[in-house]
């Protein structure tokens, strides 16, 4: 399958162009904070419950809150039905999302507490961990939990030998290599970095750069969503 | 939160004795119902997002080629799963399905199965394989009355469902071959009993207060019933009244679902 | 398969006739109360352990006892071996039996306690949830736990288009529709009601009436069993 | 209840030192044994209800057509499961099988399997399928010595077992085709060691008190042994004595089982 | 398959001859005590962690330590890969090893404590429970936990109609009957005894005797290993 | 022990600020590495025992004939499992695999899989069956840096692996048919970040102290990366430096592994 034609990708994007990202905050009634995100054909819902007493008790930390992020794909979010419940992949992703978000939340402000972040992938089209993490960061901000910075995320990969940002499903299936990245957009530091495939040092550096720039674009969408939610609150919705 | 539940329950019981509901609905009034079919249209064979007041439920339908049950050769298979996702409420826990979740899935399943909405005898693929229809009910925001919201979303998603193309003994993902035939539109309708009153479509707060509930799924016949959700009792009259309510409200909802 | 011949059913019963029910109390040594029940070819054992401290702790209720009923079918109780352990059906039945029995036991008398009711289906021939609930109510009474009323149960269904009480296995397999019901026999209130199949409003009302009357007949058997156990105690067994 | 166990244990140890048992049995005396074969005769292929004193055990045999183990083509399969149902004792818990339950099942299984009681080489159905014999041991009232009660019930149920009719590659439920062939009658016999005494057929109270137990299943040979149930030790003489007891008591019980 | 030729076994051993046994202590850094054992082609590692507070809490015994032995076969230790995790066989063996070791450790010295003994079968060639128990006893001694005696173990079985000690894999597969035994070598008492197969009373007595004598030979290897480890400590390794 | 972890962490951070490590290694220095291939040579198809300082890991390779994935007909299958055995550390628990163990297995798996070390397209047996390569990573003594120790042991064991003989649709155990072809030698290399310093090959104590770690598996290309193990962040320069370290140290280790 040919993934590049005249420098354009299957959906007409340039190599350094990310898909459309839309974010809406405050979409759930019960969660303390929530965000709905569309990123290309990805549809993601993130919700936050906090700060309550951590359960089970033996996981409590008297010096800070414990943030647990649960990443879950709905069975119908992919072409071939995924069995409900956590598989090994989603448990690994839950772990690295928990770590990335813990980098930025002021956990020391809530000793003994638990902060539960849910990421539900409702429709999946490659890049769901980046999309989920991006939504989760907005949901935490929407909940009013103090953060050092936001977390913004994007991936880059290799298609037909070229480095391209934000692969969609067909590119992911037929291409090779993927570098998911998440950063603190103001501090410019890395909180999530994975890679698989085959990349030379130079290819990796290019992918890293593209993913970084992609994440900065995503950051703008996050900011706009949070600002507009603040406006609507001030406007007395 | 347990205590909060008790206190809210008390408050609700009192205002219901005065003939009112917290959200000013009449006792036989449903909350606002919105149905968006095809919500997961790029991936799922069928889907529907339902908002019933605050309650938000997403149902997706997946279809796969599988084996029939040994005692039903040539008959398609349907299976219904519910996931009370932790995002939906601070009370839910991750982990294996528990009794509430199992009851929810089974009651919704019975309404669809017993009405014959899915004509399993038309779902043979070849001598060995049949279609397996997976109904996955994903609860995203629990504002109460999950059985009705989930049941309405499930039949809406089934009405949205396309048959995957099947060629050379394999499914061609992303290509379709007509719609899944659906024979009728079962609608579950739940009444809560609080302070000797029957109320349609209870909110989560009203569920704290309720003595019991009775769910009745109807088409032109009754297809499923379930008393549950508490230690209260029902009188003969309660049952009769609930049956009447289920048929009349079911007809209204059915128009929305089919529309 | 023809289920009705000249108004008579496969086993010669009339439409409103229930199968023979026999109940014996005090059949287990360790349980605080117990009952053995034969209902047609159903064989059921119920046992009660009470009031001990509820475990696990987080399930304790400081205002009343928590009653948990566990319904279990022995692997050999049915034609095709059932895998040991709780399946979804038995978990649903356990839930509604727990609720039905909780309607009638004076739980407020035992704060913090747990009342564990076991229902073991040793041989199954349709109507096992009604049989199990009937036996469980007698076992609780046998244990001397205070109750507002008894719980009596019976089902009705549809065979060859006619409404009939208390279907046996062949009728259940080839017939359609089933309405299991349980009542407080003195208060005449409903504590369990389920239905599946296809019934018009009128058919349902008829089935409800037949099941109700059937449950009242079962109540007589329950009373007799409890009376005879009291006699034998007074007689100084 | 743990404390109660300790106290009862102490009391038992003391009276055994005086040469007595709580129920006045001799040290080498079994409790009353009743065997009712065919107890689940309408459904199970074979069954037996055993009362050994207070202990009540029901065993049912199910047979199914299945695949042989890859390393034993053409050989039937037997599997033994024990369920310590919560009805049997306040100490049992629901949940996954635990070590006690596993040991119970495996010791009973070994006695039957190693004696060759079930001639697995006669249980081929056709080139692909063999009979699978499920032995399900259901403990209903735990008055102690579950290994013997369960093992006696298991072999009694096997002797009661009918072969399901098999036609057109499928089992005809409710119709039978002769009896399951059984080659011999293995009987497990358990001695408890308390205060340096060996006692046959310990009650639940005696199990609290025992230092250890030794089970020996016999036919005309020894087929299984298991030391377990405590941290006590056995002397050479204890082992010799237990072997003698197992053969002599096994012969008595075998008559009851076969009778 | 012929297992005996001129009174010699497949590997040239006599009927009463055990395979070579080698034991090394102190092989793990983190464990409080450890032992590595080779017994023919068996390779076994045993490690002990003690006396810490018993978890979970409800298993604590205020009168003595609770010793839990976990026997585990590595997936690659046998010809056909064994699924990871405890199966029923390894759970039974864990139970009887725990009981055998509890016979000999002075548990009363450590109320409320837990002593965790791990037995890892790295390569399996019949007789692994005897090998594991033998290694575990040395690991406990290596940890300095007070013991009444050692535990020494060996099995005997029947090959081509003859009783032989310490069967190896091929003998175990094609022979019949097996009698694993473990003893207190100084007190000459039995702490583990199992048997399966078909043996007359006389055959069993012979097997018991051979296994007992085999265990006494194993005892000598255990003692030598513990002495040499003490030497090396005194020598200031 | 949690407190002990904190205190050790503090101590480590302080001496690293002073430019030292507890074991006097340089920041870019590996611990002593020993590799013993064929450790389970009588049973496993391949194996390697690796000692990396205190850390001890045993990897065994099992091969079986199985079915390919539906979307990859004719392609062999590899699966990687890690068991953090309780023998390895007082902190491990028995039970289902948890997030740490899953991450460990998946990161090691990715390095091997993505590099193409196992040529799955050469592992078809016949039209239906393919070879399944099981990589079982058994952690025996956790002295830190399990990813590198496990990954090195895994590729060493693969290089040791013999193909079982396959005849008449069945595997002949104990007979071999050449070696498993291995195309390249991926080496994972982990740096820990502590007090703004990058350190190669962290010990368990250093893992208490670390802010985060970055693992990079290389052949002549980069095949896998994973940031994990803490809430710290990385700068661009950290990433660049780690990539350089991974290539240079990877080349050294590769010689040992292949030697």
Q: What pLDDT score does E237 carry?
A: 38
End-to-end Cα spacing for chain A: 50
pLDDT > 70: percent of chain A: 95
Determine the average pLDDT of the residues in B128-146: 96
- Report the Cα E110 to chain-centroid distance in Å: 24
pLDDT > 70: percent of chain F: 96
pLDDT over 50 (residue D152): yes
Q: What pLDDT score does B8 carry?
A: 82
Q: What pLDDT score does B2 carry?
A: 61
- Nearest residue on chain B to A123, judged by CA atoms? B40
pLDDT over 70 (residue C188): yes
- Nearest residue on chain C to B246, judged by CA atoms? C201
Chain length of chain F: 259
Determine the average pLDDT of the residues in B239-246: 98
pLDDT over 70 (residue D79): yes
Model confidence at C50, pLDDT cuts 50, 70, 90, reads: confident
Model confidence at A237, pLDDT cuts 50, 70, 90, reads: very low
pLDDT over 50 (residue A119): yes
pLDDT (tens digit per residue) in B179-189: 999 999 999 99
Under DSSP, the state recorded for D52 is E
pLDDT over 50 (residue D219): yes
Cis peptide before C56 (omega within 30 of 0): yes
Reported ipTM: the value is 0.94
Out of D221, D227, D238, the one facing E199 most closely (by C-beta) is D221
The Cα E125–Cα E21 span in angstroms is 13
**Averaged confidence pLDDT in chain B:** 94
Q: Do E124 and F43 touch (CB under 8 A)?
A: yes
The first and second tokens of residue F162, run together, are 């013999």
- Report the Cα A26 to chain-centroid distance in Å: 17
pLDDT over 60 (residue B171): yes
Model confidence at A63, pLDDT cuts 50, 70, 90, reads: confident
pLDDT over 50 (residue C104): yes
Model confidence at A233, pLDDT cuts 50, 70, 90, reads: low
pLDDT over 90 (residue C54): no
pLDDT over 90 (residue A234): no
pLDDT (tens digit per residue) in C61-94: 888 999 999 999 999 999 999 999 899 999 999 9
* C185 min Cα distance to partner chain D (Å): 27
pLDDT over 60 (residue B97): no
Model confidence at D92, pLDDT cuts 50, 70, 90, reads: low
Q: What pLDDT score does D2 carry?
A: 61
pLDDT over 60 (residue F92): no
A233 versus A225: the higher-pLDDT residue is A225
Determine the average pLDDT of the residues in F28-33: 97
Name the nearest CA neighbour of F60 among F177, F151, F158, F142.
Answer: F158
**Averaged confidence pLDDT in chain D:** 94
Determine the average pLDDT of the residues in B54-72: 95
Q: What pLDDT score does D96 carry?
A: 45
The Cα D226–Cα D189 span in angstroms is 10
The CB-side HSE value for B76 (13 A sphere, CA atoms) comes to 23
Domain boundaries, chain E: 7-228
CA angle (C59 as vertex; C56, C60 as ends), nearest 5? 100
Q: H helices then E strands: how many in chain D?
A: 5, 11
C15 versus D9: the higher-pLDDT residue is C15
Q: Do B141 and A28 touch (CB under 8 A)?
A: yes
- Nearest residue on chain C to B97, judged by CA atoms? C88
Q: What pLDDT score does E49 carry?
A: 94
* E235 min Cα distance to partner chain F (Å): 22
Q: Mark whether E and F touch (3+ CB pairs within 8 Å).
A: yes
CATH number of A7-228: 3.30.230.70
**Listed range (A118-132, B141-155, E59-73, E185-199) with the worst mean pLDDT:** E59-73
Model confidence at C237, pLDDT cuts 50, 70, 90, reads: very low
pLDDT over 70 (residue F95): no
The Cα B92–Cα E12 span in angstroms is 65
* A62 min Cα distance to partner chain B (Å): 22
Q: Do D86 and C118 touch (CB under 8 A)?
A: yes
Q: Please, which contacts does F255-258 make with residues 24 or more away whose CB atoms are closer than 8 Å?
A: F256/F33, F256/F35, F257/F35, F257/F152, F257/F155, F257/F156, F257/F159, F257/F185, F257/F187, F258/F159, F258/F185
The first and second tokens of residue E137, run together, are 């006893």
Q: What pLDDT score does C235 carry?
A: 46
* B96 min Cα distance to partner chain A (Å): 8
Model confidence at A231, pLDDT cuts 50, 70, 90, reads: confident
The Cα C129–Cα C119 span in angstroms is 9
Residues of chain B contacting C88 with CB distance shorter than 8 Å: 97, 102, 105-106
pLDDT over 60 (residue C234): no
pLDDT over 90 (residue F258): yes
**Listed range (B95-109, B176-190, F161-175) with the worst mean pLDDT:** B95-109
Q: What pLDDT score does F2 carry?
A: 61
pTM higher than the cut 0.90: yes
- Residue contacts between E and F (CB atoms, under 8 Å): 89
pLDDT over 60 (residue B96): no
Sign, CA torsion E70/E76/E78/E82: positive
- Nearest residue on chain A to F218, judged by CA atoms? A198
Residues of chain B contacting C189 with CB distance shorter than 8 Å: 233-235
Q: Do C175 and C155 form a contact (C-beta atoms < 8 A)?
A: no
Instruction: Tell me the DSSP string of D129-177.
Output: -EEEEEEEEEEEE--S-HHHHHHHHHHHHHHTPEEEEEETTEEEEEEEE
Model confidence at C7, pLDDT cuts 50, 70, 90, reads: confident
Domains, chain B, in order of start with CATH, read 3-258 (3.30.230.70)
CA angle (B206 as vertex; B255, B89 as ends), nearest 5? 85
Q: What pLDDT score does D1 carry?
A: 44
Out of C46, C72, C81, the one facing D64 most closely (by C-beta) is C81
**Averaged confidence pLDDT in chain F:** 94
Name the nearest CA neighbour of B120 among B71, B192, B167, B59.
Answer: B71
Cis peptide before C9 (omega within 30 of 0): no
CB contact, 8 Å: B204 with chain C? no
Indicate which of C196, C198, C210, C215 best probes the interface with B, i.e. most B CBs within 10 Å of its own CB. Answer: C196
Q: What pLDDT score does B1 carry?
A: 44
pLDDT (tens digit per residue) in D160-209: 999 999 998 899 998 999 999 999 999 999 999 999 999 999 999 999 89
Q: H helices then E strands: how many in chain A?
A: 4, 11
Q: Do B231 and B203 form a contact (C-beta atoms < 8 A)?
A: no
The CB-side HSE value for E31 (13 A sphere, CA atoms) comes to 34
End-to-end Cα spacing for chain E: 50
Q: What pLDDT score does B91 carry?
A: 64
Out of F62, F90, F141, the one facing E81 most closely (by C-beta) is F62
pLDDT over 60 (residue F79): yes
Model confidence at F8, pLDDT cuts 50, 70, 90, reads: confident
pLDDT over 60 (residue B169): yes
Indicate which of A68, A72, A76 best probes the interface with B, i.e. most B CBs within 10 Å of its own CB. Answer: A76
**Listed range (E109-113, F145-149, F161-165) with the worst mean pLDDT:** E109-113
Name the nearest CA neighbour of D133 among D75, D219, D175, D49.
Answer: D75
The Cα E66–Cα C85 span in angstroms is 29
Q: What pLDDT score does A173 carry?
A: 87
Q: Which are the contacts of E46, defined by CB distance < 8 A and separation ≥ 6?
A: E34, E35, E36, E37, E117, E118, E119, E120, E132, E135, E136, E138, E139, F87
Out of A187, A190, A198, the one facing F239 most closely (by C-beta) is A190
pLDDT over 50 (residue F88): yes
**Listed range (D3-7, D115-119, E60-64, F248-252) with the worst mean pLDDT:** D3-7
Determine the average pLDDT of the residues in C189-210: 98
């Amino acid at each position: 399958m040919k993934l590049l034609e005249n420098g354009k990708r299957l959906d007409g994007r340039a190599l350094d162009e990310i898909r459309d990202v839309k974010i809406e905050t405050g979409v759930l009634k019960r969660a303390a904070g929530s965000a709905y995100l569309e990123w290309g054909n990805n549809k993601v819902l993130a919700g936050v419950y906090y700060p309550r007493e951590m359960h089970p008790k033996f996981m409590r930390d008297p010096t800070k809150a414990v943030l647990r992020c649960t990443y879950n794909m709905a069975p119908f979010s992919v072409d071939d039905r995924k069995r409900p419940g956590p598989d090994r992949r989603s448990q690994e992703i839950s772990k690295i999302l928990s770590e990335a978000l813990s980098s930025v939340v002021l956990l020391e402000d809530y000793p003994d507490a638990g902060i539960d972040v849910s990421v539900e992938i409702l429709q999946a089209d490659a890049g769901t961990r980046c999309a989920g993490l991006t939504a989760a960061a907005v949901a935490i901000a929407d909940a009013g939990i103090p953060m050092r910075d936001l977390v913004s995320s994007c991936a880059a990969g290799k298609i037909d030998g070229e480095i391209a940002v934000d692969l969609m499903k067909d590119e992911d299936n037929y291409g090779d290599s993927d570098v998911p990245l998440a950063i603190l957009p103001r501090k410019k530091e890395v909180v999530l970095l994975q890679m698989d495939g085959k990349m030379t040092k130079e290819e990796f550096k290019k992918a890293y750069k593209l993913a970084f720039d992609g994440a900065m674009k995503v950051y703008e969408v996050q900011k706009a969503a949070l600002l507009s939610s603040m406006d609507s609150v001030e406007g007395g919705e | 939160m347990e205590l909060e539940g008790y206190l809210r329950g008390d408050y609700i019981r009192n205002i219901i004795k005065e003939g009112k509901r917290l959200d000013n609905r009449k006792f036989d009034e449903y909350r606002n119902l919105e149905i968006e079919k095809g919500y997961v249209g790029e991936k799922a064979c069928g889907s529907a997002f339902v908002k019933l007041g605050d309650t938000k439920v997403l149902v997706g339908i997946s279809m796969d080629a599988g084996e029939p049950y040994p005692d039903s050769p040539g008959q398609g298979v349907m299976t219904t799963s519910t996931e009370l996702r932790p995002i939906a409420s601070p009370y839910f826990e991750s982990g294996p399905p528990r009794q509430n979740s199992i009851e929810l899935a089974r009651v919704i399943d019975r309404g669809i199965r017993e009405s014959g909405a899915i004509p399993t005898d038309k779902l043979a693929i070849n001598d060995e394989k049949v279609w397996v229809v997976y109904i996955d009910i994903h609860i995203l925001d629990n504002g109460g009355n999950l059985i009705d919201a989930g049941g309405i979303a499930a039949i809406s998603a089934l009405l949205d469902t396309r048959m995957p193309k099947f060629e050379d003994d394999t499914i061609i993902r992303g290509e379709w071959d007509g719609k899944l035939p659906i024979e009728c539109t079962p609608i579950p309708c739940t009444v809560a009993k609080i302070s000797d009153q029957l109320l349609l479509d209870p909110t989560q707060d009203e569920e704290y207060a309720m003595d019991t509930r009775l769910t009745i799924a109807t088409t032109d016949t009754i297809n499923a019933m379930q008393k549950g959700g508490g230690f209260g009792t029902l009188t003969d009259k309660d049952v009769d009244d609930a049956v009447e309510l289920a048929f009349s409200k079911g007809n209204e909802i059915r128009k929305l679902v089919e529309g």
